[in-house]
Structure 1
Amino acid sequence: MAHQDEPCRILVMASGNGSNFQALIDAIAGDAIPNSRITRLIVNRAKAFATTRAEKAGIPWEYFNMISNGFLAKGEKDETKIAEARKQYDAALAEKILKLDERPELIVLAGWMWVFSSEFLRPLEEVGIKVINLHPALPGQFDGAHAIERAYEDLKAGKIQYTGIMVHYVIQEVDRGDPIMIQEIEWEGEDLEALEAKIHEHEHELIVKATAKVVREIVEARRK
């Protein structure tokens, strides 16, 4: 159990460049997310640049992947085997997190390209670990992958006037957990690349604000 005045322990999960992870590192260093620290980074892609960022910041990291760690044979096409491997991987990842010496109180998915099953979410929920995710779309609009591209097509077609981003709690239904913070982003006729850049810029700010809000709630709950 965390002492009521200890910094909130945050574990970050990322799959790629890790620019949102960097935004969290900088925000904690600059006190924009007070009373917290990142205890570990987990990546599921071997070449994720996020690991370089972790090393620079002195944050321990590890690579844990469904194929490399032996849950699924490379090139396997059997849907049943894939589904079973996903469950085993999720359960093993949850167990790995629960066994950490510094068990996190909050997990932030910062560009984590993987959809979790209840095998991952349930064990964490049982011990009160919160899991939050950044998604580049508004609630209920473009759940799942390629959200920015899908929004762009609808913007061009005049079906929507704006898009947005949100940070939400993670539940089994993809991108359907309760939103923590939402931000609408206007489209000013820019191309896909420029729209993506604009969205990513806002993401860094929103993930920091939403993480700070959840951290505050976690620390306050300890005092009750």
Structure 2
Amino acid sequence: MVTKKIVVLISGNGSNLQALIDKLHKQQVNNHNIEIIAVISNKTDAYGLQRATEANIPAILIESKGISSREEYDRLLTAELDKLQPDLILLAGFMRILTPDFVNQYSGKMLNIHPSLLPKYQGVNTYQRAIDAGEKEHGATVHFVTPELDSGPTVLQAKVPIFEEDNAQELAERVLTQEHQIYALAASWFIDGRLVMQDNYALLDGKQLGEFGYAPD
């Protein structure tokens, strides 16, 4: 049985990482074994590194502090990934903007999860921005990574309601619960060969997904 290798990139607490470990690591999808072969952080104090260690997954620090440029950091990251040869790279709260050269090198094999219903609210502070705008719902998006920030083809979204009394923390917790479900699901589709990126579109089972991904309703 073929083993498919995943590397997860993090910067912080790693709750999405934990969900990926729980749902995917050492699991089987049809004719594939899944293994998270490494967790890489750009921050020394990222709790996700401890999560990896506790799961007996190699925890690798490539610290970004003190690195003079994004290009230099991405060269270091590329060197590590080239040694690991992952089938899939998952960004799970990796708080760095990647260079176009890096993204293009791994085009079609890198996914990200973003805490908004893209294309709304790219970037940071999405929860408060949604509340301030009077939105009735918010959510999370799994998408392929392309050079444009938070703009790659959408794979899957999950929506949650915004209540009048919500603050950003309460909304974030509600969204995070959904993130833990949809990210592992999308990754399993990729591992199983069902999900691919082609001509800047996401395809699931050979069918092109729309702007809002699978099951937009």
TM-score (norm 2): 0.82
Provide the rounded CA distance (Å) in 2 between the counterparts of 1:168 and 1:184: 15
1:53 aligned partner, one-letter code: R
Aligned partner of 1:93 among 77, 98, 103: 77
Tell me if structure 1 keeps the 8 A contact 2:71–2:99.
yes
CA shift for structure 1 position 22: 0.5
Q: Which amino acid aligns with 2:116?
A: A
1:132 is aligned with what amino acid? Answer: L
Equivalent of 2:105, from 111, 123, 147? 123
CA RMSD of aligned residues (A): 2.1
TM-score (norm 1): 0.80
Alpha-carbon distance in 2 for matches of 1:30, 1:136 = 27
Aligned to 2:210: none
Matched, 1:12 2:8: yes
Instruction: Find the partner of 1:153 among 113, 129, 132.
Output: 132
Spell out the pairing of 1:133-148 with structure 2 (5 A cutoff): 133-148=112-127
Point out the structure with max Rg over C-alpha.
1
CA distance in 2, matches of 1:121, 1:176: 12
Identical residues among aligned pairs (%)? 28
1:77-103 Cα offsets, whole Å, 9 max, x none, are xxxxxxxx11121133123211x1x41
Is the CA contact 1:20–1:110 (under 8 Å) kept in the aligned structure 2? yes
Higher RCO, 1 vs 2 (CA within 8 Å, ≥6 residues apart) = 1
Name the counterpart of 2:47: 49
Once structures 1 and 2 are overlaid, which stretch shifts more, 187-196 or 41-50?
187-196
Whose strand proportion is higher, 1 or 2? 2
Q: Count the aligned residue pairs.
A: 193
- Assess, with a 3 A threshold, how the Cα gap between structure 1 residues 186 and 30 changes in structure 2: closer, same or farther: farther
CA–CA distance in 2 between the matches of 1:21 and 1:147?
Answer: 20
Which structure 1 segments of 5+ residues have no match? 73-84
> Aligned-pair distance for 1:32?
7.7
> Can you give the 5+ residue segments of structure 2 that lack an aligned partner in the other structure?
197-217
